[in-house]
Amino acid sequence: MIDIPDNFYEKCDKFKEILYKFNTIHSFTTYKNIDDVIEDSIKPLEFLNFYPKNAIDIGSGAGFPAIFLALILKDCKWSLYEPHTKKSSFLNYVKVALNLENIIVYNAKIESCKKFIADFITSRAVMKTKDLLQICNGFYDENTKFLFYKGSSVEDEIQDLNTKIFNDGVRNYLFMEKLC
């Protein structure tokens, strides 16, 4: 298990304040209380046994799970891809407010960006698994690990893929590696 920094929940409280402020204007999320979302975002750290150096989050939206993972995995450089300008502006604001120097926010779809190999790719509720793998082609190799936060239909999406599913009652955490 990866250790949670002492200031993690303090920074989460600051994030919540910022989100609620922005959310009244921009409607980023329907959650009234994101404590469960925070726990959902960091839950996979209980079973991850590696420390990525560079990671990608696809469709970062309001920052779930990337912001919370970046707060804990401080030595990892995070590239967040969010094509909606309002959301990417919000993410940049959060980056500055929380002093997250390990994050770069791209206001773009990942498939239109310059390729590089990441050792960790995450996504939450963006699209089907095979479509996610297709749009991030060129960003992974045989050593890249994937963590997709999926719902109940995950089994239908992963046929013929080398996967592990960790279930926490409601959420399925889809972990994949050695896809090449």
Q: Specify the long-range contacts of residues 6-12, CB closer than 8 Å, at least 24 apart.
A: 8/71, 8/72, 11/71, 11/98, 12/38, 12/68, 12/71
Residue 148 and residue 122 in contact, taking contact as beta carbons nearer than 8 Å: yes
Q: What element of type H or E holds 150?
A: strand 145-150
68 annotated ligand binder: no
171 annotated ligand binder: no
148 annotated ligand binder: no
| CA-based nearest residue to 149, from 62, 55, 32, 66 | 66
110 annotated ligand binder: yes
169 annotated ligand binder: no
**What are residue 73's phi and psi, to 5 degrees?**
-90, 70
Residue 80 and residue 59 in contact, taking contact as beta carbons nearer than 8 Å: no
Q: Is the peptide bond before 5 cis (omega within 30 degrees of 0)?
A: no
Give the residue carrying structure tokens 């239908």.
156
**What are residue 116's phi and psi, to 5 degrees?**
-155, 160
Binding positions: 59, 64, 110-111, 124
Binding positions for S-adenosyl-L-methionine: 59, 64, 110-111, 124
